[in-house]
Structure 1
């Protein structure tokens, strides 16, 4: 009997424990919002909720960050829905033709709530705990009603590395009682801030391009679930209020009427909460739905309702900050309340239209697969001579979830060349890629392939031109006819050691993997030459930039085995040759075929330097080409051992207090002795007009007077007239200069600023914009003139060294394939 009663007591306590979820306050040991919670504690709390509610919560870890933190999502719903979660997923994908077969069960709306893609917008991750708790709170009739017919996916922190960078700093420097003074140390976040991930990329702008580890992992899971709605929670400046839908113009024209309608509905529900509590807010301003790489737009072009929420606060606000203009104190607690309210308003919106939201989602994908929008029904990408680039491109297509194949046969047809939108005859070869518009994700395909998107309003938040043919440097065509494809078979590359030992191995230079191959050779201290001129030998033509790896000078044991294995590993096709004599061009022993040095590279990173520009360089060396780079603080420049350094990279930034006359004199002496400076974007301004450096600024505004009667109400549009939020230009290059080696005939760049720089009078004007350089995107009237006949890439020889001036960042967001080739040339050649 005693044993029986003990069992009953155990079962009672077990059921009680699992019926009551710990609140965040109980789990953390302090009231939510009274301090910033570390990421591991947030993960611990979500895992505790799963343990306490195993029938209503399922956690999926979808990846890890560069610093090893887990990326998790919590699936929260009714016990019935959680028990058939996999069935819901597969039936959902079948209903939108992303899995074969017909659904055999009902599918509730799937809502994905993402928090803290920007690490120092730290209210979001803290809010996620309250949202998760209340969804599981059995005393909350509203949330229990929602869960009955909804699967909620909560990503409590999209950017754990940036979030913890901010949280650790703030918790270290905050006062015991929060100091609300705006200039207090706890409101002065140090460089680089917590906004970005480990490599200082903006993850909210990476959805379409998927350059970062976190993004790839998240989208892999996203494509397995394809939620009906995705909401992204952010923060903005402390002196603003709260933004929720309706979104601002411009809307991309391919956003459907239903998506616009639901955008309005969500706004109505949010207004109800905010009006009831007398909370300030704004709508239809600033945050548009145009550029396709955000956490609201990328899901939108996948058929979802994509929403952005912006709470006043951000990294400056800490736990509390005085807002004199608003006559209040903004606290973390109030910020959590606001995000919690919009989270519930979002879920209520879905619950109120659950049948319609499912119906419209299915219709979106059915239309995409059977009657795709737009003129083009098939996209053709030329592959010959671009095999490695195409390999990278098909990996990107697969990551997006796109279906593609090869032509399988040759044919001639008519098509539109996408970079110029000119109609041409198209000769399709059997290995060319075909991407059909007749597939569930064709709307996203259309948007990402388009090169001249229609912009309904010039006041926009981000880039106004993209287009994968620009970004990958691939010739692509849009066809009005539907073509069928065969399965894609990537070109296999295998290098074998010839029977007769070759004089040298040649490797063409045109792809990022060629750079990785060179990197490995140089790290092994192998001797590699590069032909600075085109040449012909053994009835084959080779472009300038071709790598020449001779047996002579390389003492590597098993030289042939090592070189061929490395080349195969990196998809590089070697051409073994029997002689160093060329039919035309310069022989391999010529000074025109110099040895490439293994350079010691130093990059400046710290206060004054653009975090994202530095991050692009850092990521390029560590994650893309795997070549060592040393990072130094700007304050160390005056005391570096210059004799040990070969290349100094100055990312974009403000260097006025860094590059003093003394440091510039040091740099100039070092360059004369063989050093190389790569100055990027605004860092070039420190050299303009300085003695010994040949860079000068244009005087384009001299003698011009502004409109003294301009209207105050037009100030935002007046500002846009002197801007380019991100437009596409075709750069003209001196193709004989090593910086241009391996580039495609057209090199496209994303212009975001104009530097009004004169052509170099002494040196090489390697890349520049002509009168006809503009390709696509919005450029303000005043900016247009500044982007004509202006220097983009220049090289100034000084003694035995040089200064490379890059007015544009070729590594911007890791988007431009040819930009990586160009930057590699600047570093290694």
Structure 2
């Protein structure tokens, strides 16, 4: 009876699998229209319910509440043993101490689709790839999966994908319109590329600022794939791109990883040649910046790869420059072929992949690739956020539990120095599984093989976090502990005031909370000393006498300060040295009432970074109004306006409204292109050149370069254009430490410069941060631009009437991970009058 029942179950299973529907059978409009996200989830649910070759592993939700999902695909036999296979994979590579039961080795392949929402053919092809992998009638994929585990993440950015798809369906009629003038090829602001907060999730792999990335990387680190394919689209006139990638390629990429790129290229080219499809390799898409969906996996031992199909702006169908019509189905077909070829190549090279992956981690521990073996970060308020970043990346660290004299490279001084390792300093050794990723993120200088880079070329975390740091060439031996230990609070008999040091994100969140609860706060403008408590400029003081309406002051403050363990109680306002707490050196802070402008004249990404900063980093209320509604704003409701980078087209009347707002006591924080609103306007100090002589000197330099260019070849002209560019480099700035905009930042500020925009030091304004005549820099800056950067301002404050304008030439909120920039922006928002 049991044999009959088993045979019946087997027959039923085979019958179900044999009838498995393809996406075009399950979704009537598949290949003709972008799929709703719920339909995409429904199709994968259908595959999971009707095939023994796929398992669903949800891993979280987006900001807008959509599901984030992975699907594990292999043979039914492999899936029954899947946890053992995973554990064995990690254990054999030295990434886990859990020893599993004996099992055979498998190639682990992770396929990521649609990190950019308006590249829909990626998610659409994920359904087709998933179907072909579980299709019982596909003999080839059944063979591949004997040796391969495939993990599919069909849509990394469901919010952006839905925003784009819902819009496209709204503007679509029965007929397609290949002509580029039709509205289905003119996506409105902010577009679907980014996630809810306007972040480019493909630049967030290492920093993990966004919740989609944070949740995904928890699962990624549980698997640590050997191959990672990142599926994209680009401009619709472009042929298909697949590996090998372009230069610059980071020095830490191994030969075995490059060899697999070549194997992939050869296999994919063979398939594309047979179909007559256009493609290219080794151009544009490099492997340098560590936070992409190809580079980040690469620095975690995988073969990371970008696949790009022409299609952005194509809608359902578009006429290309060559006269051909590119359809959504064409894009799906190309992606499906390329991605399945990657799986095939991984299955074919399984033994090599397994061996090379294990060798990667063994070699990285035994033979460090970089110059340094230990990184020391001095304890400060910003160290806590750095430790969180390391934890998210599974980078091991510890805290010093003793003092020790050492010598090493100083990031801030850009030279070797003696220093003292002290208790609670952060220690990161490269003697760990994530050695390569650690060195990529901490090495002071990354060699750039080609200046024509796709993204930023410097990112060293000590500069991003603005913390005194050192790199040591050896693995140091010192007593350590797992957590920072705090000294006990000073004993007190009565509460006169609470003291909160202004030293990082936690301080800002406390101030945000206090303002939201209408608790009055003061900020120090000069150093003072109170019984054991040293107060520095920017530090917060909450006086009991300023808050008479709070009946249970001590109990309320204990709740408000829960997240700031280094606060203290002050018993008396009488200073040992410096100013008493009642002096003018402790002005009351005004709670910001913030307006952020949005809309088509504003960079969606830069707007999103400001919005995310307000919503998630400091949790402070912000009103958002489209810039084209500017004339309808009731300015009495606000005292602070944030203008993110953009191309604002204010009328003269609207500019006068902004002038009146500032003169009446309002504050404007203008970033990047928003500075054009004030440039060369009467009564404002913002000009490109401080004098006619300065303008003449730069013109003379430009004229000389133009004369020299007469002898350039066509090829060298491209390089000449690079001489005035910067894709992203770290530039040293001198700080005016006495100004509130610089509080908590130390003696210098390293800015992430991503544009050639520059202004000579301003007259009639406070040049709080500027590039000195002999500045330090890291990463590529064009030679011509580098000559023109000295004595240019990066952050300045101009008082106008009773208000002020804060000029930000560089974006301190860049991608959310520039922690010293987050604090500088917090100064602008809360401390600058």
Give the structure 1 partner of residue 615 of structure 2. Answer: 622
Give the structure 1 partner of residue 651 of structure 2. Answer: 660
Cα offset for 1:19? 4.4
Give the structure 2 partner of residue 558 of structure 1. Answer: 552
2:423, 2:531 → 1: CA distance? 28
**Alpha-carbon displacement from aligned partner over 1:155-179 (angstroms, at most 9, x marks no partner):** 0000000010000000100121111
Partner of 2:494: helix, strand, or coil? coil
Cα offset for 1:644? 1.7
Q: Contact (CA 8 Å) 1:465, 1:776: kept in 2 or not?
A: yes
Cα offset for 1:102? 4.6
Q: Contact (CA 8 Å) 1:751, 1:808: kept in 2 or not?
A: yes
TM-score by length of 1: 0.95
Cα offset for 1:11? 8.0
Cα offset for 1:140? 1.2
Give the structure 2 partner of residue 694 of structure 1. Answer: 685
Give the structure 1 partner of residue 158 of structure 2. Answer: 160
TM-score by length of 2: 0.95
Cα offset for 1:685? 1.2
1:305 to 294, 303, 306: 303
**Alpha-carbon displacement from aligned partner over 1:650-684 (angstroms, at most 9, x marks no partner):** 000001x2x22111111111111110111001110
2:474, 2:4 → 1: CA distance? 76
Give the structure 2 partner of residue 241 of structure 1. Answer: 239
Q: Contact (CA 8 Å) 1:497, 1:560: kept in 2 or not?
A: no
Alignment of 1:276-287 (within 5 A): 276-287=274-285
Q: Is 2:732 aligned against 1:730?
A: yes
Q: Contact (CA 8 Å) 1:495, 1:565: kept in 2 or not?
A: no
Cα offset for 1:8? 9.3
Cα offset for 1:307? 0.3
Give the structure 2 partner of residue 272 of structure 1. Answer: 270
Partner of 1:536: helix, strand, or coil? strand
Give the structure 2 partner of residue 347 of structure 1. Answer: 343
Q: 1:821 to 1:107 in 2, by over 3 A?
A: same
Q: 1:15 to 1:487 in 2, by over 3 A?
A: farther
Partner of 2:25: helix, strand, or coil? helix
Q: Contact (CA 8 Å) 2:492, 2:571: kept in 1 or not?
A: no
Give the structure 1 partner of residue 69 of structure 2. Answer: 72
Q: Contact (CA 8 Å) 1:697, 1:755: kept in 2 or not?
A: no
Alignment of 1:760-779 (within 5 A): 760-779=762-781
Q: Contact (CA 8 Å) 1:459, 1:716: kept in 2 or not?
A: no
Give the structure 2 partner of residue 827 of structure 1. Answer: 829
Cα offset for 1:229? 0.4
Q: 1:612 to 1:495 in 2, by over 3 A?
A: farther
1:154, 1:8 → 2: CA distance? 32
Structure 1 unaligned residues grouped into runs of 5+? none
Give the structure 2 partner of residue 294 of structure 1. Answer: 292
Give the structure 2 partner of residue 37 of structure 1. Answer: 35
1:542, 1:348 → 2: CA distance? 64
1:59 to 48, 56, 66: 56
2:472, 2:760 → 1: CA distance? 42
Total equivalences in the alignment: 817
Q: 1:256 to 1:421 in 2, by over 3 A?
A: farther
1:420, 1:296 → 2: CA distance? 33
Q: Contact (CA 8 Å) 1:739, 1:822: kept in 2 or not?
A: yes
Alignment of 1:206-217 (within 5 A): 206-217=204-215
Give the structure 2 partner of residue 97 of structure 1. Answer: 94
Q: 1:48 to 1:406 in 2, by over 3 A?
A: same
Alignment of 1:162-241 (within 5 A): 162-241=160-239
Give the structure 2 partner of residue 685 of structure 1. Answer: 676
Partner of 1:344: helix, strand, or coil? helix
Poorly superposed stretches of 4+, deviation over 4 Å: 4-15, 484-487, 492-499
Cα offset for 1:499? 5.4
Give the structure 1 partner of residue 526 of structure 2. Answer: 533
2:657, 2:219 → 1: CA distance? 51
Give the structure 1 partner of residue 378 of structure 2. Answer: 382
Structure 2 unaligned residues grouped into runs of 5+? 690-694
Q: Contact (CA 8 Å) 1:419, 1:451: kept in 2 or not?
A: no
Q: Contact (CA 8 Å) 2:207, 2:817: kept in 1 or not?
A: yes
Alignment of 1:614-653 (within 5 A): 614-653=607-646
Q: Contact (CA 8 Å) 1:317, 1:330: kept in 2 or not?
A: yes
Cα offset for 1:131? 0.2
Cα offset for 1:648? 0.5
1:673 to 664, 667, 681: 664
Give the structure 2 partner of residue 515 of structure 1. Answer: 508
Cα offset for 1:138? 1.6
Alignment of 1:307-322 (within 5 A): 307-314=305-312, 316-322=313-319
Q: Contact (CA 8 Å) 1:112, 1:231: kept in 2 or not?
A: yes
Q: Contact (CA 8 Å) 1:495, 1:564: kept in 2 or not?
A: no
Q: Is 2:322 aligned against 1:326?
A: yes
Partner of 1:313: helix, strand, or coil? strand
Q: Contact (CA 8 Å) 1:301, 1:444: kept in 2 or not?
A: yes
Cα offset for 1:482? 2.2
Q: Contact (CA 8 Å) 1:249, 1:457: kept in 2 or not?
A: yes
**Alpha-carbon displacement from aligned partner over 1:515-571 (angstroms, at most 9, x marks no partner):** 00000001010111112222223254311111110011212231111112221x212
Cα offset for 1:488? 3.7
Partner of 1:809: helix, strand, or coil? coil
Cα offset for 1:474? 2.2
1:773, 1:74 → 2: CA distance? 50
1:8, 1:725 → 2: CA distance? 63
**Alpha-carbon displacement from aligned partner over 1:45-75 (angstroms, at most 9, x marks no partner):** 111111101x311111111100111110110
Q: Contact (CA 8 Å) 1:642, 1:670: kept in 2 or not?
A: yes
Give the structure 1 partner of residue 331 of structure 2. Answer: 335
Cα offset for 1:741? 0.8
2:638, 2:407 → 1: CA distance? 54
**Alpha-carbon displacement from aligned partner over 1:701-737 (angstroms, at most 9, x marks no partner):** 5353322453323343222111011111111111111
**Alpha-carbon displacement from aligned partner over 1:71-101 (angstroms, at most 9, x marks no partner):** 1011000111100000011011100111115
2:365, 2:746 → 1: CA distance? 34
Cα offset for 1:208? 1.0
Partner of 1:725: helix, strand, or coil? coil
2:481, 2:532 → 1: CA distance? 31
Cα offset for 1:599? 1.6
Give the structure 1 partner of residue 692 of structure 2. Answer: none
Greater shift in the superposed pair: 581-590 or 165-174:
581-590
1:737, 1:498 → 2: CA distance? 33
2:822, 2:222 → 1: CA distance? 31
1:520, 1:46 → 2: CA distance? 43
Please provide the CA RMSD for this pair: 2.1
**Alpha-carbon displacement from aligned partner over 1:606-663 (angstroms, at most 9, x marks no partner):** 11101111111111111011100000000121121112210011000001x2x22111
1:335, 1:7 → 2: CA distance? 43
Q: Contact (CA 8 Å) 2:18, 2:137: kept in 1 or not?
A: no
Q: 1:18 to 1:524 in 2, by over 3 A?
A: same
Partner of 2:346: helix, strand, or coil? helix
Q: 1:174 to 1:150 in 2, by over 3 A?
A: same
**Alpha-carbon displacement from aligned partner over 1:255-290 (angstroms, at most 9, x marks no partner):** 111111111111111101111111111111100011
Give the structure 1 partner of residue 417 of structure 2. Answer: 424
Q: 1:686 to 1:544 in 2, by over 3 A?
A: same
1:644, 1:448 → 2: CA distance? 43
